């Protein structure tokens, strides 16, 4: 049993190492610009492991998308099903997206934007069910807020695109932003992910808050520390 558990851990570690290395390379160079040899070298494993675990480069690319979106979807569903107020649920959604983009898959936003720019030809069939689930969850939270009077009436799709698009762009452009700030010798440092997410959370909360009634009161109460 111990030997089997050790083999399972080793297999999981190898898969995760390959996924992490490939995500970084695909984000930098695109699918066609990355070879199996380069991925294996980045991961520090034999290139035969890519075929063994994923059936080749295309299978590895698909695994990156499915594992990342599966994690996002699972956590978004938890937010959807929680009893938290809608504004807090949206804040949590933005926070979990940022966590994945900074801790779990730092290169994923750039990879996904590259894929989107190229028309999503390799990812469309794989990610559509996940995108539908995430959009459905966010739309339901927004609709709940409108029904409860804490949000003004808004288009859920436009709101979803505003949140996700802004987060994707911020995290995907982090390397460029750091280079520009360094080379231009600007008198300020690039914003930290935590600062940007907090800014976006506040911006969205204010933008969605009902113009009158308890939506505004709740926002003022949070800022002043009252319950």
Q: What is the 3-state secondary structure (H, E, C) of the chain?
A: CHHHHHHHHHHHHHHHHHHHHHHHHHHHHCCCCCCHHHHHHHHCCCCHHHHHHHCCHHHHHHHHHHHHHHHHHHHHHHHHHCCCCHHHHHHHHHHHHHHHHHHHCCCHHHHHHHHHHCCCCCCHHHHHHHHHHHHHHHHHHHHHHHHHCCECCCCHHHHHHHHHHHHHHHHHCHHHHHHHHHHHCCCCCCCCHHHHHHHHHHHHHHHHECCCCHHHHHHHHHHHCCC
CATH of the domain at 71: 1.10.357.10
Any domain includes 48: no
Asked if residue 25 is part of any domain, the answer here is no
- Considering the domain boundaries, does residue 23 fall inside one? no
Q: Is residue 197 part of a domain?
A: yes
Residue 209 phi, psi (nearest 5): -60, 140
**What Cα–Cα distance (Å) separates residue 151 from each residue in 89, 95, 205, 210?**
13, 19, 9, 5
Task: Return the pLDDT at 224.
Answer: 58
- Non-local (6+) Cβ contacts of 62 within 8 A are 54, 122, 123, 126
Report the distance separating Cα 23 and Cα 171, nearest Å: 14
Residue 175 lies in a domain: yes
- What are the pLDDT digits (tens) for 42-87? 999 999 999 999 999 999 999 999 999 999 999 999 988 888 899 9
- Kindly indicate the confidence band of residue 20, based on its pLDDT and cuts at 50, 70 and 90: very high
pLDDT in tens, 169-204: 999 998 888 888 778 777 777 889 999 999 999 999
Q: What is the pLDDT of residue 73?
A: 93
Provide the β-strand partners of residue 209.
Answer: 151
Inside any domain, residue 32: no
Whether 124 maps to a domain, the answer reads yes
Domain tally, the chain: 1
Q: Considering the domain boundaries, does residue 10 fall inside one?
A: no
**Domain extent for 173:** 62-222
pTM metric for this prediction: 0.81
Q: In the structure, what pLDDT confidence band is assigned to residue 215 with cuts at 50, 70 and 90?
A: very low
Looking at residue 180, its pLDDT comes to: 81
Cα–Cα distance, 45 to 56 (Å, whole number) = 14
Contact 146, 153 (CB under 8 A): yes
- Identify which of 109, 213, 122 has the alpha carbon closest to the alpha carbon of residue 167: 109
Asked if pLDDT for residue 3 goes beyond 60, the answer is no
Q: Is the pLDDT of residue 227 over 50?
A: no
């Amino acid at each position: 049993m111990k030997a089997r558990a050790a083999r399972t851990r080793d297999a999981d570690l190898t898969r995760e190492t390959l996924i992490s290395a490939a995500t970084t390379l695909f984000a930098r160079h695109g699918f066609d610009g990355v070879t199996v040899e380069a991925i294996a070298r980045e991961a520090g494993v034999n290139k035969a492991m890519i075929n063994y675990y994923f059936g080749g480069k295309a299978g590895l690319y698909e695994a990156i998308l499915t594992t990342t979106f599966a994690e996002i979807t699972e956590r978004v569903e938890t937010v959807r099903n929680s009893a938290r107020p809608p504004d807090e649920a949206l804040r949590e959604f933005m926070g979990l997206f940022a966590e994945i983009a900074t801790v779990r898959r730092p290169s994923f936003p750039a990879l996904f934007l590259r894929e989107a720019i190229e028309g999503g030809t390799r990812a469309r069939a794989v990610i559509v069910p996940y995108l539908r689930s995430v959009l459905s969850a966010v739309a339901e939270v927004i609709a709940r807020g409108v029904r409860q009077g804490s949000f003004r009436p808004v288009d859920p799709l436009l709101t979803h695109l505003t949140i996700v698009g802004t987060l994707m762009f911020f995290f995907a452009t982090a390397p460029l932003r750091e280079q520009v700030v360094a080379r231009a010798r600007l008198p300020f440092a690039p914003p930290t992910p935590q600062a940007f997410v907090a800014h976006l959370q506040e911006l969205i909360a204010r933008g969605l808050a009902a113009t009158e009634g308890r939506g505004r009161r709740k926002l003022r109460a949070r800022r002043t520390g009252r319950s």
